[in-house]
Amino acid sequence: MRILFVGDVMGSAGRAALETYLPQLKTELRADIAIVNGENAANGRGITEDICRQFYAWGVDCITTGNHVWDCGDIRSYIARDPRLLRPANYPRGTPGKCLYIHRFPDGRRIAVINLLARLFMDPLDDPFRAMESLLAEHCLEEDFDAIFVDFHGEATSEKMAFAHCFDGRVSAVVGTHTHVPTADAHVLPGGTAYMSDAGMTGDYDSVIGMRKDLSIQRFVNSSSGDTFVPATGNTTLCGALVVSDDESGHATAIQPVRIGNTLPPALPDI
């Protein structure tokens, strides 16, 4: 299976990059499925129903989120109706929305997409390790699915790495999101799980993690707590990863970064 994952879509620049590059990437990379983290798609904070519909029209099959999932107030009613828009699994019981999406292919193959939120330097949610154990008790790789993909949304690389090693061999891939910086550590773990600490941001890299750099500089230089959460809107770059997994075992055989756009050096998989 060929799984294309696109990192955090940031504001209008990120949406423009996704619209521009995703259709051609799905074709050129022969991707079976496109999964996109959309938690920053609405002006840098949250996501809306209209944006979700745009994503699907551009070829997105599943949307993951993170700590900004609720920042657009009307999303709570919509997320309960859209099984392809996920929120992290370790939100408390009773939280609206799904944390796992099952995508069925015409040839009978199935992939489970799971969204989880880390805890170090993040919101104090339920334990993501226990939440994952609970999900795997009901959804088993190879027996129930041909692949299991996990978007682990978190700040600390140590927590992301520990999570991936904990579930190595039990899921096809663990790819991190949230920091908006693509990492150079894409590799397959000994048990067969593809790992990358962060897929990076889809948006304007002439910025401070997607925010206007002038406002972000003011915040640090002047210790200002003003409105610095304004997305940059200049260049457009798409970042992510391509995972290839074996349909028999569900284990990954390869993972390579994806970068295309105006600012960062390009990287297109050759797998």
Which pTM does this prediction carry? 0.96
Residue whose tokens read 């061999």: 169
User: What's the mean per-residue pLDDT of the chain?
Assistant: 95
Determine whether 68 is an active site residue.
yes
Domain extents in the chain: 2-206+234-261
C-alpha to C-alpha distance for 39 and 87, rounded to whole angstroms: 9
pLDDT tens figures, 175-211: 999 999 999 999 999 999 999 999 999 999 999 998 8
Q: What is the mean pLDDT of residues 100-120?
A: 97
Give the SS3 label for residue 163: helix
Any idea what the Cα angle at residue 68 is, between residues 97 and 54, rounded to 5°? 70
CA distance 55 to 38: 9
The residue annotated as part of the active site, out of 68, 153, 178, 251, is: 68
Tell me the per-residue pLDDT of 126-163, one tens digit each, with 9 for 90 and over: 999 999 999 999 999 988 999 999 999 999 999 999 99
Structure-token pair, residue 106: 């015409």
**Fold that domain 2-206+234-261 belongs to in CATH:** Purple Acid Phosphatase; chain A, domain 2 (3.60.21)
